[in-house]
Amino acid sequence: MDLVHMLGFLPRKTSLYRLAFIPKSAQQKTPSGNHLNNERLEYLGDAVLDAIVANHLFMRYPEGDEGFMTKLRARIVKRKNLDYLATKIGIPAFIDRGITTGSKSKHIYGNALEALVGAIYLDRGFGCAKKFFERKILKRHIDLVLVAQKDPDYKSRIIEWTQKNSVEITFESKEEHLSGSKAPSFVSVILLNEEAKGTGRGDSKKEAEQQASKAALKSIHTV
């Protein structure tokens, strides 16, 4: 596989991409004494990747709250997963072949993937980096349904189910004041395509929504 095939576009500054594939364990020394490795690109790519994934999740899950999207993003960009994704798109073939197995860092491929995203950002801008990650990685190698299902968070699971099945979801929550209790309680109802499918109560809005989500999942036989 060549670089253009992996990227899906023609790079302009090829030196950036060569640098992205030079890990610290195989760093090169310039005549001026500086060391060339991908650590700076990795640092930049880490931030760009977070922004790309955050944007994707924000647009895909209009009903997803901050906690849901943060957990999903963390699973996607965790180091072990980046190592796997880097291998799937062929990054190991571009890493310096002179590196011995013993000298390879644990996450050399995932680090190189972040550095590659950083290189794309510097070479072609955020839009191109976003398109690369979404087309070459997210859509081909990440199943967001499975990622969300790993979460015991019932609200996360019901939101993902509605996305997968093109169902409109609405949370209706209100505060209640029960007689004999000074502290308020909350009740939440989940509507799927405008039909009530789950009701939950709790001492907080979050807890009520969790219980409503659990009830809704049971009603559609996914729990």
Distance, CA of 46 to CA of 34 (rounded, Å): 23
Is 46 a catalytic site residue?
yes
In the block, residue with structure tokens 């890493």: 95
Distance, CA of 77 to CA of 203 (rounded, Å): 33
- By three-state DSSP, how is residue 151 classified? coil
Distance, CA of 150 to CA of 156 (rounded, Å): 10
Distance, CA of 83 to CA of 114 (rounded, Å): 10
Q: Which of 42, 66, 83, 114 is labelled catalytic?
A: 114
| Alpha helices by DSSP H, the chain | 3-7, 14-20, 39-60, 66-77, 79-89, 108-124, 126-133, 139-141, 144-149, 154-164, 205-219
- By three-state DSSP, how is residue 201 classified? strand
One-letter amino acid at 103 equals S
Q: Which two tokens stand for residue 50?
A: 């977070």
Is 2 a catalytic site residue?
no
Q: Which two tokens stand for residue 14?
A: 């090829």
Q: Which of 46, 50, 63, 207 is labelled catalytic?
A: 46
* Burial category of 135 from C-beta neighbours within 10 Å (exposed 0-12, middle 13-18, buried 19 and up): exposed
Annotated active-site positions, please? Answer: 46, 114
